[in-house]
Amino acid sequence: MELRLQHLSRRYGTKSAVDDVSVNFVPGVYGLLGANGAGKTTLMRMISGILDASSGEIRLNGRTIQELGEKYYAHLGYIPQNFGFYPEFTAREFMLYMAAVKGLGRRRAKSRTETLLSMVNLQDAADKKIKSYSGGMKQRLGIAQAELNNPSILILDEPTAGLDPKERVRFRNLISDFAKEKIVILSTHIVSDVSYIADTILMMKNGRFLLNEPISTVTDDIRGKVWEVVVPEQKAAEYSARFSVVNLHHENNMVRLRMINEDVPAAGAVMVEPGVEDLFLYYFGEEAQEER
């Protein structure tokens, strides 16, 4: 299976939200990173077939989504950002309704509903109205509905936003379970979410891809540029102003700084193994710092 985006653009007036993006997706988990306004959500909406491209096309196994029509949507599972629910429905009713929207027959709808509610640990609350659910429960229900048709393309737009750390771990594990043999495109600006489960990292800025690399080699560009140094508290501010500081940790009266710099930033600085978060900061600099 191959999902191909060819010269895909989306303009709003004179502004390009997505600008001439081309990429091939094959089964695997893709972490789509970018600061707010980078064009991630617009791109995912176009892939989901709910927003028309201004130019370019999307092809699944060689055929455009317009040619495929309903057949394309049958391959899709989608959790949009700020996904709304029907508060007066129970989770079970919501799942059965979504199963009908996705074209599942009655028997399959029932069995998939029970299986998925069990997988996302909502079976005991299946007959409670969604209005009584917590944010985490709603997100789990969101992924369960996306999985109803066992989609071969799973699109997750900021699925962990607003979740506490425990829920986020749980959610990541669920996505990993569902991801086998699928194209999973996971958009987030929480870098740690993708660094655990993504096979490939895509970075977007100003509507374009800056980077498209396997997770195993994605940090190669900044290898040898990530440093840690322990400095007195009064020096920390000065270092923060001079260098790209990724992390800052107080230890007694000292501060441990993690920073990215081409050369040794200070005497005593130790070169460390780079992570995806370091890479994110390297590319997005102050934009990313503001979001964090």
Partner 1 sequence: MLIKYEFLKILRKRSTLIIMAVSLILTAFLFGLPAMQFQTYDQDKVIKGRAGIAHEKQQYLKVSVTLSEEYITETIRRVQKLFEDADNVGYDGNENFLIGDAYWEEIAPKEKLLNMIAKTYDSPNENSGYQKFTDLDISDGAGFYKAVESKIETLLDAPSRGLSDEQKEYWSDMARKVDIPLKYGYYQGWEMIITSFELLMFAVLSICIVIAPVFSGEYQAGTDAVLLSGKYGKTKLITAKVTASFLFAGIAFTLHVIVAWALPLTAFGTDGWDLPVQIANTAIPYPFTFLQTALISVGIVYLILSAMTGLTLLLSSKMRTPYLVLIVLAPVLFIPMVLTPTGTSGIYNLILFLLPYRAAMPEIGKYISYQFGGLVMDVFSVRAVLYAVLTGLTIPLARRGFKKHQVM
Site residues, partner 1 (CB under 8 A): 12, 45, 48-52, 70, 73-74, 76, 78-80, 82-86, 88-89, 93, 96-98, 100-103, 106, 109, 145, 149, 155
Work out how close the CB of 50 gets to partner 1 at its nearest, in angstroms, rounded to a whole number: 4
Spatial distance between the Cα atoms of 65 and 190, rounded to a whole number of angstroms: 30
Helix (H) / strand (E) element for 64: namely strand 63-64
148, 40 in Cβ contact below 8 A? no
Question: Which of 161, 266 has the CB closer to partner 1?
Answer: 161
Residues in the chain: 292
Distance of CA 236 to the CA centre of its chain: 32
Q: Least CB distance from residue 204 to partner 1, whole Å?
A: 18
What's the gap between Cα 235 and its chain centre? 36
User: Which residue, 108 or 292, has its beta carbon nearer to partner 1?
Assistant: 108
CA 24 from centre of chain: 17
* Nearer to partner 1 among residue 31 and residue 80 (C-beta): 80
Rounded CA separation 56/17 (Å): 14
- As measured in angstroms, the least distance from the Cβ of 242 to partner 1 is 41
Q: What is the H or E stretch that residue 127 is in?
A: none
Q: Shortest gap between Cβ of 34 and partner 1 (angstroms)?
A: 18
Closest separation in Å from C-beta 90 to partner 1: 10
Q: Which is nearer to partner 1, 160 or 195 (CB)?
A: 160
The DSSP annotation for 182-239 comes to: SEEEEEES-HHHHHHH-SEEEEEETTEEEEEEETTTTTGGGTT-EEEEEEEHHHHHHH
> To the nearest whole angstrom, how small is the minimum distance from the Cβ of residue 221 to partner 1?
34
Closest CA to 28 of 139, 158, 143, 183: 183
Nearer Cβ to partner 1 (100/237): 100
Nearer to partner 1, 80 or 275 (CB): 80
